[in-house]
Copies of this chain bind each other. A is one copy, B any other.
């Protein structure tokens, strides 16, 4: 039994390893070598916590297990720890024995960032120069840092409902030596790639805020009722996702599905593009939209990668369990 505590993850895990793990598992999902189990998500009626399990099995990567945890909204105030708390548990698919326990907090941030990066690699125009950020919270910094590695971006633009948070992403741009400009939502027409990463329940980004040829990664909507972009954008765009079942029920596509302007059959798994069974972007004028909903298999994939790194570097805790 291998244990990798949360505190070790930052030094062990790289964006590259997270990217590779997430790209591989999206490919395995599309080829039906990997699937996610039904998600359990419960408001437990104690300290307003949301708790649950996201599990899955990847036969290609031989990864089985779950991420357990959730959202404890009073953690920071009451206990000085972050509100999102999760742990990944891996099992040996050959025997059912627990094989690893891995801190899941930073991994969740990295796998979410990796997902939009995978979509940029496979769907953004090769000559993309300007990246736009909708949202400037903690997770936005992860998304931007990972995205900047996928194209030769020359400028970062950003919008946030609370503009005073924009320095968060300006700092990431500066780290990469890129200029940053705060823009209005209309200003997003200058972007070749847009990442939205908010917790909004009403759309910010309207269809006419997005120029032809843009690739848009909608990463914030993971719950019924949340929405970052106008539903009309999804009918104008070619829509891709990590998992269609989640996209249409809790993802950004839920609203266009509900109003009948989009059907599940019009949505393509990003894994199909990775596998080459879908051509991906068809023209420089096409708007591509990736609906990133977040699946348990992503968590298992990055946890499995970090376990290998921890063992290789000799810092895994081994317990005779």
Considering only residues 1-48 of chain A, those with a C-beta below 8 Å from chain B are 3, 5-6, 37-38, 40, 42, 44-47
B-binding residues in A (CB < 8 A): 3, 5-6, 37-38, 40, 42, 44-47, 49, 51-53, 55, 57, 59, 64-66, 68-72, 75, 78-79, 81, 85-87, 89, 91, 93-98, 101, 103, 317, 319-321
Cβ contact within 8 Å between A53 and B66: yes
Instruction: Choose among A6, A46, A51 the residue with the greatest number of B CB atoms under 10 Å from its CB.
Output: A51
- Select which of B3, B66, B85 is within 8 A of A96 by beta carbon: B85
Cβ contact within 8 Å between B68 and A97: no
Within the assembled complex, what's the spacing in Å between the Cα atoms of A154 and B66? Answer: 48
Q: Closest approach, in angstroms, between the C-beta of A195 and any C-beta of chain B?
A: 27
Cβ contact within 8 Å between B49 and A96: yes
Cβ contact within 8 Å between A94 and B68: no
Q: Closest approach, in angstroms, between the C-beta of A307 and any C-beta of chain B?
A: 14
Instruction: List the B side residues contacting A40 at CB < 8 Å.
Output: 37-38, 40, 53, 55
Cβ contact within 8 Å between B321 and A6: yes
- Select which of B46, B59, B69, B317 is within 8 A of A45 by beta carbon: B59
Q: Closest approach, in angstroms, between the C-beta of A28 and any C-beta of chain B?
A: 13
Cβ contact within 8 Å between B51 and A53: no
Q: Closest approach, in angstroms, between the C-beta of A89 and any C-beta of chain B?
A: 6
